[in-house]
């Protein structure tokens, strides 16, 4: 095999990697599910290269050069995000707040292209039925929703039972024991409005 062909294969792998990483980053965190952008991209590219090798569309040498280049790019990206210096934010993105102190955070929802129905659905999957329970809900870099609950809404431990928690809950909820419909994740009004 001509060394120029191998160099061209390596250059193509780098170009495809860069373009696909940009496309994945622009398409949003939720597009890739629970993978990081790097992991998703590497799985996608390696799957395609292996397919080409198996079916004989490219030579074994060209295929292994492409696999090696993809592995090196992934390794390099991992080190860049580990060292950070802004590369982690650029290459993987950063967490986005979609709910804060029981209130939907529309700028974050817009950035993640989520509507109210999407946020409420994700909260229900996290076991949240009252928005006031949530101190902050964040879409992480891998597209997953993480929820930090108010102290009073955390599962009870023996050491937690006390007057201070009850007072904090009353302060955060305005003393209402049951949430108003606009605070419930399963409210028909909110679900209808989200459509």
166-193: pLDDT as tens digits: 777 788 877 777 777 777 776 666 556 5
Locus of tokens 């997953």: 144
Minimal CA–CA distance to 102: which of 141, 123, 139, 133? 133
Q: Which percentage of the chain shows pLDDT scores above 70?
A: 78
Evaluate if residue 61 carries a pLDDT over 90: no
Do 86 and 106 fall into the same domain? no
Do 163 and 135 fall into the same domain? yes
Could you list the residue range(s) of the whole structural domain that residue 68 is in? 3-92
Do 78 and 168 fall into the same domain? no
Tokens read off for 165 = 């928690």
Nearest-angstrom CA–CA distance, 49 and 62: 9
Across 31-45, 62-76, 132-146, least confident range:
31-45
**Last residue within a domain, chosen from 55, 71, 92:** 92
What stretches of the chain show up as alpha helix (H) in DSSP?
3-27, 37-54, 60-83, 87-92, 106-111, 116-125, 163-173, 188-194
**Last residue within a domain, chosen from 92, 123, 155:** 92
Do 87 and 100 fall into the same domain? no
The secondary structure of 55-83 as a DSSP string is TTSS-HHHHHHHHHHHHHHHHHHHHHHHH
pLDDT confidence bin for 149, thresholds 50/70/90: very high
Nearest-angstrom CA–CA distance, 117 and 99: 13
Do 107 and 181 fall into the same domain? yes
Q: What's the CATH code of the domain at 169?
A: 3.30.240.20
pLDDT confidence bin for 136, thresholds 50/70/90: very high
Do 23 and 75 fall into the same domain? yes
Do 123 and 184 fall into the same domain? yes
pLDDT score, position 109: 92
Do 101 and 187 fall into the same domain? yes
pLDDT score, position 73: 84
Q: What is the tally of structural domains in the chain?
A: 2
Length of the chain: 195
174 CB burial (10 A radius; 0-12, 13-18, 19+)? exposed
Nearest-angstrom CA–CA distance, 195 and 192: 6
Do 15 and 73 fall into the same domain? yes
Do 88 and 103 fall into the same domain? no
**Last residue within a domain, chosen from 58, 77, 92:** 92
Do 19 and 57 fall into the same domain? yes
């Amino acid at each position: 095999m001509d060394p120029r062909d191998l160099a061209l294969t390596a250059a193509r792998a780098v170009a495809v990697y860069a373009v696909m990483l940009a496309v994945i980053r622009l398409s949003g965190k939720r597009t890739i599910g629970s993978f990081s952008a790097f992991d998703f991209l590497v799985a996608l590219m390696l799957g395609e290269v292996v397919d080409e090798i198996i079916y004989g569309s490219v030579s074994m040498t060209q295929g292994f050069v492409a696999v090696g280049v993809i592995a090196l790019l992934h390794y390099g990206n991992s080190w860049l995000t580990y060292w950070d210096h802004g590369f982690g934010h650029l290459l993987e993105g950063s967490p986005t707040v979609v709910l804060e102190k029981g209130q939907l955070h529309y700028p974050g929802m817009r950035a993640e292209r989520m509507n109210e129905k999407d946020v409420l659905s994700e909260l229900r999957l996290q076991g949240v039925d009252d928005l006031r329970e949530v101190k902050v809900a964040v879409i992480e870099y891998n597209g997953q929703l993480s929820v930090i609950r108010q102290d009073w809404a955390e599962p009870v431990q023996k050491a937690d039972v006390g007057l201070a928690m009850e007072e904090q809950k009353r302060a955060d909820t305005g003393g209402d024991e049951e949430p108003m419909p606009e605070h419930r994740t399963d409210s028909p009004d909110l679900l209808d409005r989200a459509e």
